[in-house]
Every structure is written in C-alpha cells, then in structure tokens.
Amino acid sequence: MKAVDKLLFGTAGTPNSTKPRDSITALKRLKELGLDSMELEYVRGTFPGEQKACEIASAAKENNIRLTVHGPYYINLNSQEHEKVEASRARIIKTAKFGSLSGAESITFHPGFFHGQDTGEVYRRIHKEIEDIVKKVRQMNIDVDIRPELTGSPAQLGSLEEIISLSEEIDGVYPCIDWSHLHARTGANNTAKEFQSVLDFMKSKLGEQSLKSIHMHISGIEYGSKGEKKHLNLDESDFNYKDLMHVLKDNGVFGFVVCESPSLEDDALILKEYYEKI
C-alpha cells in the first residue's frame, strides 16, 4: 500500500446516487461527495478488461480517489474438490492483476470454509495456498497487498487470530479487519476497550507500521449464533461505530475505511464526519 497519512473513507462499490452506474462516474461522484476511496467489487466474478481497468486507474488519479478491491465470493481454498481450489487460486490472482491495473493498492477475499475439518489442518492448507498465490503474484510483477479478510462466520477461516497469523507468517500478506464481521462472529468486540485490544494485538504481532496502512470494513450488521446474517445501515444496528472512531483516532490509525452498509455513501459520510469532529 502506498504511504497514507490519514483515514480514507469510502464505499464498497459504486455509490447508490451514481448516475449512470459505472466505475468512472462513481469516482467522480465520490469526489463530489467529499469521500476519499472506493472498493472495486469483483464479488460476482466479473472483471474489467485491461483497457477499462486502465481507464479506471486514470479516473481515480484524476479525482484523487484511492482504490481497494474485493475478490469474488466464489473462493474456497479448502474446497473438497481440487478443481474448485484451482479456480479459487486463479480468481485471487486475477483479482490482483486487474486490481493493480485499475490502480488499486490492496485486495481482500474470504479464504475458505472449514467443512467440519480440523481447524489446524485447514489453516495449514490455506496457508500453503496463499503462500503460493503471493509467490505467483510477485512473479507477475503485480504490486498489491494481499489481504485475507476477517470473516463473519465461525464456519469460515478468518478469525482475528488466523488472519493475523497468516500476515505474520507470509511475507506480503496483511490483514483486512472487518470490524462488523468481528462483532458478528464473536457476539462481542463492540466496546472501546475491545477495539483497543484488537489494535494492541495487531501491533504486538505485526508492528506499529501495521496500524499506519490498514484496510478495514465497517457497516451495521445483523447476526445470530452462527455469526453474520446481513449488512445493515449503521442506525439499524448495535455496532458501536462511534467508540471505534475514537479508538482509531486516538491510536493514529491510517488507511482505508470501506463502508459496506446498504446506504453506502450515506453511512460512509456519517463515519467520516463523526471521525473528523473528534
């Protein structure tokens, strides 16, 4: 990730108020709104062509909007079918390729599911897959951060400890901290003290610099005993974003804040405006 000296607030995909609804217009709309970033959503497995990706990169630079990417949902590096693991690996590499061409600095994805297997064995399997992916991406001279996401269900690999361990053990891998997923996954992690504990844990394992180039997701969230159910708007959820903003500011955290609420730009602006008033 390029150097950043502040938090960059933005949307997961095209803002709802964008007309027409395309990535180039979205970047102009984000500038009009006073937001700073956008996460390109490759979640359905649809990628831009190379020319379009270069146009996105140019428009992002012109509008001073920084970019990240979310890879396809159809990724499972622990699938029981070898073909699906290969396809998942290819999707992550393709996400890195087109993300980089589009000017993105960081890509994130959900690594895979446990399928009732031993969690240690699954971790080792996915660790090896991500290690191979990073090696391939670097061989292709693609310069983006590879960031496994903190996932919203205990059925998925992606606890805080797991993604921090992957980042600690594999050069070129960093965490994507989805604060709302963490809350949904654990039923906790929703107080200033708990938010601080997460940052302290990151710093102890990955160093102070890990808090200066962070990739985060925030939204309201509905959850139950099995974790995440769906994203909500901030005012419809119990997610304690105000205390989180205080903790991020108190710790001098810099990087991307990607809003995934249904009211994308509205909640992104709520987060940014609250943060700036602290």
CATH code of 161's domain: 3.20.20.150
In a domain, 236, yes or no: yes
In a domain, 171, yes or no: yes
User: Confidence band (pLDDT; 50, 70, 90) for 159?
Assistant: very high
Question: Residue 211, Cα to own-chain centre: how many angstroms?
Answer: 15
In a domain, 1, yes or no: no
Cβ pair 122, 79 in contact under 8 A: no
CA atoms within 13 A on the CB side of 86: 3
Cβ neighbours, 10 Å, residue 140: 12
CA dist 260 → 47, 61, 124, 163 (Å): 20, 23, 30, 20
Residues forming a β-bridge with 153: none
pLDDT, averaged across the chain:
98
Element (H, E) at 216: strand 214-218
Q: In angstroms, rounded to a whole number, what is the distance separating the alpha carbons of residues 101 and 23? A: 14
Model confidence at 3: pLDDT above 80: no
The predicted pLDDT at position 100 comes to: 98
What's the predicted TM-score (pTM) here? 0.97
Both tokens of residue 259? 């809003």
Angle 175-158-114 from CA coordinates, rounded to 5°: 150
Cβ pair 252, 211 in contact under 8 A: yes
The predicted pLDDT at position 245 comes to: 99
Both tokens of residue 35? 């937001």
The boundaries of the domain holding residue 263 are 7-277
Cβ pair 269, 22 in contact under 8 A: no
In a domain, 251, yes or no: yes
User: Confidence band (pLDDT; 50, 70, 90) for 4?
Assistant: confident
Average pLDDT over residues 167-186: 98
Counting beta carbons within 10 angstroms of the beta carbon of residue 151, is it exposed (0 to 12), middle (13 to 18) or buried (19 or more)? buried
In a domain, 2, yes or no: no
Please give the tally of structural domains in the chain. 1
In a domain, 53, yes or no: yes
Name the more confident of 2 and 78: 78
Per-residue pLDDT reduced to its tens digit, 67-123:
999 999 999 999 999 999 999 999 999 999 999 999 999 999 999 999 999 999 999
User: Confidence band (pLDDT; 50, 70, 90) for 2?
Assistant: confident
Average pLDDT over residues 151-163: 98
Per-residue pLDDT reduced to its tens digit, 210-262:
999 999 999 999 999 999 999 999 999 999 999 999 999 999 999 999 999 99
